[in-house]
Structure 1
């Protein structure tokens, strides 16, 4: 039977089922469907405007979940979901909404009916307990709202931009920690598997951009392993994250999604702590990656405080050097104690157009020498001399010929004992060698960073004189290392 020959009540039901994704296309397809769907138009417009961006800050009352229980269609309107400010809002009703028994019952029913909590191994009773604790229904020891937040994610099939704040599974007591970790991993993995279904309303099935934002602080970090399920979402193109760790033997990262690769094209890590082993495990599963930005910082108990920049960049070069278009590798100001090995060659980056590097990345012995500076203090292999700053090769011999834009970020002069000699060695003979070694380079800059107006940059005038003679643009920026994000950062 042709669609338009159906009774009007069936047509209205079909139109209602198309809300919100296909509603506008359907009612605009012909006059009959428009007239039939006209009663829904105003409500659709209001909801589209109100719920397109959802900042779910009401994690201390059940009104959001109660609303989803009553009308699940509300969550279908969201294309951007921000859970970052979950902990910053309490309703003004002093808990009257939360404490209403009918609201509580609707929420419990909603939890019990969730297909994501009916997966093998998932304990719905445990989730009910944890979510109600997150909502303030009991002594709230899950104070980061992880279980509530994960449950929220199951309602959003059309979200393209997602902002998450979780650092740990909350203040869960030790005896429940292993159980809790296993439970939220099961559900997150279930969301990932379901997102690949042909059914159009699967949670996070359309997610393109994920922002995982913690406070960029020495004492705050989360293992990269925690967000692995999100990295396997089928439409995910961009990842922006901070304070993640992937260090061999300490905060190791393993790609446990067998036969799955990430569709990521852009990765931006700020204030993260990773080594060559950890980053290799990730990049080995990102075949579409073209932009990679990384800002290194040590974490609590000195994790990553001595960093092997040479091995790190070599790992990037080995795994995605043939495809990257934009690479940035920087070090947070005053965030490390030393460099184990430096970068001496980047010719494996065959398509790189934009490169932004930290001066510190070049300040160390070559990988080939086998020497490790810093706390490791490993002697060089036979035939190699002990590294000194004089061994730093000029940039025109280090950089790939395909490069179009290059920037150096110079900072931490005092605590790293770096003097102006490093800069002069890097740019020695740059102008004369540039046409033959770097024929595609059209812009080259240096960005000095200082933390106070009176701070001294060793040999500053001499360095600037040489930079000018070599045709290099340069600037000095006053920075505040305590700021979460500032315009001095390359990333």
Structure 2
């Protein structure tokens, strides 16, 4: 019997099953009769697609309310393409929890109904079974009777942050078509004891996505959750307080998702400092109970903004990123000691060792510095595919390897840094690989970079560094070079230099442009531009202002 020969009731059931799997349009366009039967579902499909394509958690739409909507209408999960969690906080979801104890509240009845739907949803999740978790334990974490402000050893109830993180991970298990994810500010900063159960479920999701197994049963979706995630976006705002408290290893499982190609995150740490704060080292182990195996990352573009990462840890990160072609890193020292003294030379060497034949774009800059640059960059020749590079001028003038000024904190003395042997800096013609097309150098006005030195001293030192870098004609040695750009960090630069004009003795300020032009006169460099933008590369798709 042909499909059209089936009774209308059976056709309705088939259409409903197709609708629940998110592929209604394909069957609706097959013939006129199927189209007529599909009309009610098509209208609902259009409403859901428009309403749920982009989900932004906010004061008006808590994570729990999104979970409840999906629990009531499971097909909604298939329409979610963008999930923005940057405004997620404990307070919004805590208010929804409290409603259950307030019969006079208008949402009391609805919360009770939503809670029952969510309980049923949790009990049906295969990810919990694979992680060997009890669904009832997750129900307690997601809808606790009581929450704590802070975690204590002897308490048996979660904090509000624990509650929200479990709700977030539960939501992620439901989204097979998610393409873009913006993390919450408090990701990986939960206060429950280790190992946290949500981390194990996250690792399970990554393993399933990589295996491409259909684990959701004959009536579930045919694709693994997060298998199509392509972009991971930042949530935190950069500032100068140096509070990188979250370990980058907590985000590591997401890096191994098969579809993820673009990563831009802020204020994470992968650093070990024996002298002060121990930092948080990076590893690919995932949860202690759920191994991530030897899966490789497909990330092509990696942007670590205002992060604290040392050479050893960037090596561990890159060892699984064989597809990486663009790396941007801005160093942010922390207030508690990690990253105060950063070895830029060792960092660049680690990048070269792991990405020498594949990296085409590289940006290494300093956003917030408290100590010294322990080792300067002397060669990037191992990066044979490199076409565009952005480097901080401070990375070329490293302090002496041993100095009486070094304190027990690992070299906080800025006097030693100020005496760096700038005359020993190699010219760029000897540092850069031969195929370079575009070079950007970043100059700082002093704000947030060094303490104890005047702005004038800092700028003068960088100008001397600049002159040393162009001691040899870069255009002769690098025939592919198209442009050299000098950028600054957005702060107003007052050179504090003056020149005598005419017999009147009137002083006029010397601009940065004229000072640089004078320094580089005769070097053969003709494409130098002064730009107040701190980013050398073109904007990534998610950085456009009209992305949402």
Instruction: Give the shorter-chain TM-score range.
Output: 0.7 to 0.9
- 1:254 corresponds, among 283, 286, 289, to 283
Classify the secondary structure of the residue corresponding to 1:18. Answer: helix
Task: Provide the rounded CA distance (Å) in 2 between the counterparts of 1:177 and 1:59.
Answer: 29
SS of the counterpart of 2:193?
helix
- Report the equivalent of 1:187: 201
Structure 2 residue 470 is the aligned partner of structure 1 residue 441: no
Residue matched to 1:463: 516
> For the residues of structure 2 that align with 1:412 and 1:337, how far apart are their CA atoms?
17
Q: TM-score, normalised by structure 2?
A: 0.77
Mapped to 1, the partners of 2:304 and 2:189 lie a distance apart of 23
User: CA contact under 8 A between 1:47 and 1:77: conserved in structure 2?
Assistant: yes
Query: 314-323 or 409-418, which moves further after superposition?
Result: 409-418
1:165 corresponds to 2:184 = yes
Q: Which of residues 208, 229, 241 is equivalent to 2:265? A: 241
> Out of 370, 379, 382, which is 1:336 matched to?
370
Query: Corresponding residue for 2:42?
Result: 41
Structure 1 residues 22 and 150: alpha-carbon distance in aligned structure 2, compared to 1, 3 A threshold: same
User: Structure 2: which 5+ residue stretches go unaligned?
Assistant: 100-105, 150-158, 215-221, 273-277, 286-291, 412-418, 499-509, 538-548
Match of 1:474 in 2: 529
TM-fit CA distance, 1:342: 0.6
| Aligned pair partner of 2:347 in 312, 317, 323 | 312
- Give RMSD over aligned pairs: 3.0
Corresponding residue for residue 137 of structure 2:
126
Change (3 A) 1:61 1:277: closer
Identify the residue that residue 50 of structure 1 maps to in structure 2: 51
- Say whether the 8 Å CA contact 1:62–1:97 is kept in structure 2: no
Give the alignment partner of residue 88 of structure 2, picking from 86, 89, 102.
Answer: 86
Deviation at 1:280, TM superposition (A): 0.6
- Structure 2 counterpart of 1:394, from 397, 415, 427: 427
Alpha-carbon spacing, 1:4–1:401, altered in 2? closer, same or farther (3 Å): farther
1:292 paired residue number: 327
Deviation, 1:476, is 5.5
1:216-231 aligned within 5 A = 216-217=238-239, 218-231=242-255
Q: CA deviation at 1:387?
A: 6.2
String of CA shifts for 1:235-270, please: whole Å, max 9, x gaps.
Answer: 111111011111136311112232210111111110
CA contact (8 A) 1:59 1:87 kept: no
Q: Is the 8 A contact 1:243 1:270 kept in 2?
A: yes
CA shift at 1:120, angstroms?
A: 4.0
- SS of the counterpart of 1:302? coil
Mapped contact 2:344–2:395 kept (Cα < 8 A)? yes
Distance 2:235 2:341 in 1: 24
Deviation, 1:109, is: 2.6
User: How far 1:102 moved relative to its partner?
Assistant: 2.6
* Change over 3 Å in CA distance of 1:475–1:440 after alignment to 2: same
Does residue 153 (structure 1) correspond to residue 172 (structure 2)? The answer is yes
Aligned to 2:207, the other structure's residue is in SS state: helix
Residue in structure 2 matched with residue 381 of structure 1 by the alignment: none
- Tell me how far apart the structure 2 counterparts of residues 236 and 350 of structure 1 sit (CA, whole Å): 25
User: What is the CA deviation profile of residues 384-412 of structure 1, one whole-angstrom value per residue up to 9, with x for unaligned ones?
Assistant: xx961110011111111111111011115
Change (3 A) 1:398 1:61: closer
Aligned to 2:251, the other structure's residue is in SS state helix
**2-structure distance, mates of 1:187, 1:297:** 31
SS in structure 1 of the partner of residue 293 of structure 2? coil
Local SS of the residue matching 1:272: strand
Cα distance, 1:143 vs. partner? Answer: 2.9
Query: Is it true that 1:77 corresponds to 2:87 in the alignment?
Result: no
CA shift, 1:106, in A, is 2.4
What residue number does 1:206 align with?
228
Contact 1:192–1:230 under 8 Å retained in 2 = yes
* Aligned equivalents of 2:406, 2:131: Cα separation in 1: 49
Provide, for residues 123-180 of structure 1, a one-character-per-residue CA deviation record: whole Å limited to 9, x for no partner.
43332222124xx8645622372111111111111011111114355563xxx422xx
The yes-or-no answer on 1:488 pairing with 2:534 is yes
Bigger mean CA offset, 111-120 vs 147-156: 111-120
Residues 90 and 160 in structure 2, CA contact (< 8 A), matched pair in contact too? no
Q: Does 1:111 align with 2:164?
A: no
Find the counterpart in structure 2 of residue 12 from structure 1: 12
Q: How far apart are residue 60 of structure 1 and its match?
A: 5.1
The number of residue pairs the alignment matches comes to 460
Range with bigger deviation, 448-457 or 53-62:
448-457
Number of the residue aligned with 2:361: 326
Asked if structure 2 preserves the Cα contact closer than 8 Å seen for 1:223 and 1:251, the reply is yes
Structure 1: runs of 5 or more not aligned: 378-385, 478-486
State the SS of the aligned residue for 2:520. helix
Pick closer, same or farther for the CA change 1:450–1:164 going to 2, 3 Å.
closer
Partner of 1:143: 161
Per-residue deviation, 1:103: 2.6
